[in-house]
């Protein structure tokens, strides 16, 4: 099997499609948007639209909640910290590059 670089599908999902894809309830999704844990765009009609990348974010939220028994506000904090660590690790890798 060979795998190539793949373009991320860019099509957005509306609230129902997002909830269906992630197996969650739309009310929970709305709550997570309100908490700033999920990012969503609101169109002129007020409907929420989610980038495909938010499916993975939702997965992480659910896993962190299941794995550590965190409430959703705490999950928000943990995901922010994990993202900051990822950025720092990338910077560290860059700085450690041989030939620098």
Partner 1 sequence: MPGGPRADRRDFYEVLGVPRTATQDEIQQAYRKLARQHHPDVNKDPGAEDRFKEISEAYDVLSDPQTRRRYDAFGPDFRQVPEDVDPEAYQRSRASAGAGRARGAGGVGGFGTDLGGDLGGINIEDLLGGIFAGRGFGPIPGADQEAELELTVEEAFQGGQRSVTLEGPDGRHTLDVRIPAGVTNGQRIRLAGQGGRGSEGAPNGDLYFVVRIAPHPRYRVEGRDLYVDLPLAPWEAALGTSVAVETPRGEMKVKVPPGTSTGKRLRLRHHGLPHPRGSAGHLYAEVKIVVPAKLTDEERRLFEELATVSTFDPRRR
Site for partner 1, rule CB under 8 A: 1-6, 21-24, 55-56, 58-60, 62-68, 82, 90, 93-94, 97-100
Nearer to partner 1, 48 or 58 (CB): 58
- Rounded Cα distance between 42 and 14, Å, is 10
- Residue 42 or 63 having the CB closest to partner 1: 63
- Nearest approach in angstroms of CB 3 to partner 1 is 5
Residues 6 or more apart whose Cβ sits within 8 Å of residue 48: 14, 15, 18, 29, 30, 33, 40, 41, 42
Minimum distance from residue 90 beta carbon to partner 1 (Å): 7
The secondary structure of residue 97, as a DSSP letter, is -
Measured from the CB atom, the residue of 43 and 83 that comes closer to partner 1 is: 83
């Amino acid at each position: 099997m060979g795998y190539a670089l793949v373009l991320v599908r860019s099509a957005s999902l509306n609230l129902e499609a997002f909830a269906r894809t992630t197996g969650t309830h739309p009310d929970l999704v709305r709550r997570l948007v309100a908490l700033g844990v999920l990012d969503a765009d609101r169109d002129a009609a007020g409907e929420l639209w989610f980038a495909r990348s938010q499916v993975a974010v939702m997965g992480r939220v659910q896993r962190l909640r299941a794995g550590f028994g965190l409430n959703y506000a705490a999950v928000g904090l943990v995901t922010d910290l994990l993202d900051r660590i990822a950025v720092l690790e990338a910077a560290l890798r860059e700085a450690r590059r041989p030939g620098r």
